[in-house]
Amino acid sequence: MSPDIPEVPETSVNASDTAAPMHAPRGPGKIVEEIPASPRRLYPHIEPFESGMLDVGNGHNIYWERCGNPRGKPAVFLHGGPGGGCSPDHRRLFDPSKYCITLFDQRGCGRSLPHASLDHNTTWDLVDDIEALRTKFGYAQWLVFGGSWGSTLALAYAQAHVSRVSELVVRGIFTVRREELHWYYQKGASWLFPDRWEKFLAPIPLEERGDLMRAYQKRLTHRDESVRIEAARAWSMWEGSTITLLPDDQLAEAFGDPHYAIAFARIENHYFVHDGFLKPNQLIGGAHALRDVPGVIVQGRYDMATPARTAWELHKAWPEADFYWAPDAGHAFSEPTILHWLIEATDRFALED
C-alpha cells in the first residue's frame, strides 16, 4: 500500500444512518447454476426524466440522471471500470414502471468533469458521492446495483452505509485484491489470450514488464499526449477483447475509442496501483455487515477479468445472498444468462418495500 493512500474508513454503520429502516435477519440463500430456456432481455429504451451535474467539491462535478417512475422504488446503478461511465443500456436493467433509477458517471469519466482527472479520486470519494446523491433525492434507502468495479463500489458503500441499502445486487465480483490484479494485469489471463496479451505488452519495454501496472502508470501520466493515448488504448482494448466468453470485436473497438480509453485506463490504473484504496481483503472480510441485507450475486463461470473464485469467497462470507452461476458466460453483463439473472433480481426486488 502506497504511503499517499488516505486512511480507510471503517466499514460499519454510520451514526447518521441509524434513522433508516433496519433489515430482518435472513437465512441461507440459494445457489443456482442453469441456463434459462427463455432468457430475459433488457427493458425497452428510456430517456431520463431529470438530469444534472452535482458539485462534489475539489473541482469535481459528477453527471447524474434519473429514469423510470419518479414515484417508483429507488435504485442506484454503479458502473464498471473505474472510469467506464454509464450507457443507455444500463437504464434498461430495471422495470421503468416500478423503479426510479439513479445513474451517475463517477469522478473523471463519462460526462463528469474534469475528464480523466485523478485528483481527489478514490473509492471513498465515490462512496461519499453516492451518499450525496441519496441525500439530494431524499431517499431513506435504495437498492444498490453494481457490476465488476461497480460490485467493488457497491460492497464498499453497503458496508459503510448498510442501513441505507434496501437490497444489494452485484455481478462479476471484483474486490481489488493483489492476486486479482496480478491475474489480469501481470500473469494468469495472458495464458488464455496470448495473442491479445502481446498487444497489451506492446507499449512496455521488456525491462519494465516485471510490474506492468507501474509501467503503464508512467505512460498514462506522461506529458506527451501521444504516449498517453497509445498506452490508454492498449490497456482499454485488453479488457474490451477479453470480457466476453465469445469474441466481440465491436465491443473491443468501442473500448479503443481514444476519448473513452484515456479516462478508463488512467482511472483504472490509478485505482489499481493503489489497491483500490482498500485494506487487504477488506470487502470479503467486511461482508458480515451485509448478513441481513437481501442480496443477489451473479457470476459468469468463465469470467476471465474477475475470475469466479472471488465471487465464491464473497458467497462464503455472505451466504445469506442468493448466488447465481452463469455457466455459459464470461464477464459482460450483456451475456444472456448473466443478463437474465440480473433482471430476475431487479424484478423480484421491485415487489418488496
Q: Which residues are catalytic?
A: 148, 303, 331
Of 234, 219, 227, 245, the C-alpha closest to 331 is: 245
C-alpha 58/C-alpha 60 separation (Å) is 6
